[in-house]
Structure 1
């Protein structure tokens, strides 16, 4: 099983959006028996809460399920439990490196936008602060599409 963890600051906007989008893609490509998806946050402000209303609204409009998703905090064990840990921005990458000693774990870590050739943005702007959930969705969708293509190629799926 290939395990993918999406990470943002609070785990209520971008990372659950990415988790839901990626899981939807994985299911539509009949890869759910090969790829498992989760998300987490670096902070603990929202632990146990559902995704942000803006995230829920955009996912609802696209008929993408987020059922059962609740915020959780990323922990040091995630670096051994997951194959890919995908951050939404540079700040998240720094937080992951501080948490997991990036050089001593099995997980491949990187930013979602790094999987896109010539991305519009280097980071997915946080809609919690910008209010622009549509733009975040656009970026996350493109990033997830390219990440899935990368994983399929790397693992011959």
Structure 2
């Protein structure tokens, strides 16, 4: 099993959007028995809360479910459980490395570094632009899924 964790500041906008989109892509490719996905926050502000209403509305436009999703905070055990820990921006990456005590571990990656953009995913909590975030999340999730499939060919072909 390959485990993927998306991380942002509050776990109500970007990381749950990425979690839902990634799950949707995995289901479309019938890979859900091989890949598990979750999301978390570097802060504890929204623990137990559902995704932001803007995230829910944007994903609903594309028939992507957020059912059962609730905010949680990143914990030390996540470093052992997850194969990919994907931060949405450079601040998230810094905080992940500090929280997990793993400053340069290759499993910690900035989401859009997998795309041509090589930049942070803007936080729609502050920008209000959930469409821009969604467009970048789609691109990032497709790139990440390609990486996971390439990195784990033997598992996914069994």
- Give the TM bin, normalised by the shorter chain: over 0.9
Distance 1:101 1:112 in 2: 20
* Unpaired runs of at least 5, structure 2: none
Moved beyond 4 Å, runs of 4+: none
Distance 1:104 1:8 in 2: 18
1:143/1:104 CA distance change after superposition, 3 Å? closer
Shift of the alpha carbon at 1:129? 0.4
The reply on whether 1:130 has 2:127 as its aligned counterpart is yes
Match of 1:9 in 2: 9
The reply on whether 1:82 has 2:82 as its aligned counterpart is yes
Shift of the alpha carbon at 1:138? 0.4
* Unpaired runs of at least 5, structure 1: none
Contact 2:54 2:130 in 1 (8 A): yes
Match of 2:40 in 1: 40
TM-score (structure 2 length as normaliser): 0.94
Shift of the alpha carbon at 1:112? 0.7
Distance 1:21 1:104 in 2: 27
The reply on whether 1:154 has 2:148 as its aligned counterpart is no
1:10-40 per-position Cα deviation (integer Å, ceiling 9, x unaligned): 0000000000000000011010000000000
Match of 2:109 in 1: 110
Shift of the alpha carbon at 1:103? 5.0
Match of 1:56 in 2: 56
Shift of the alpha carbon at 1:102? 1.6
1:87-131 per-position Cα deviation (integer Å, ceiling 9, x unaligned): 0000000000110112587x7110110111x21x60000000000
Structure 2 matches for 1:136-147, cutoff 5 A? 136-147=133-144
Equivalent pairs counted in the alignment come to 154
TM-score (structure 1 length as normaliser): 0.95
Distance 1:52 1:13 in 2: 6
1:44/1:155 CA distance change after superposition, 3 Å? same
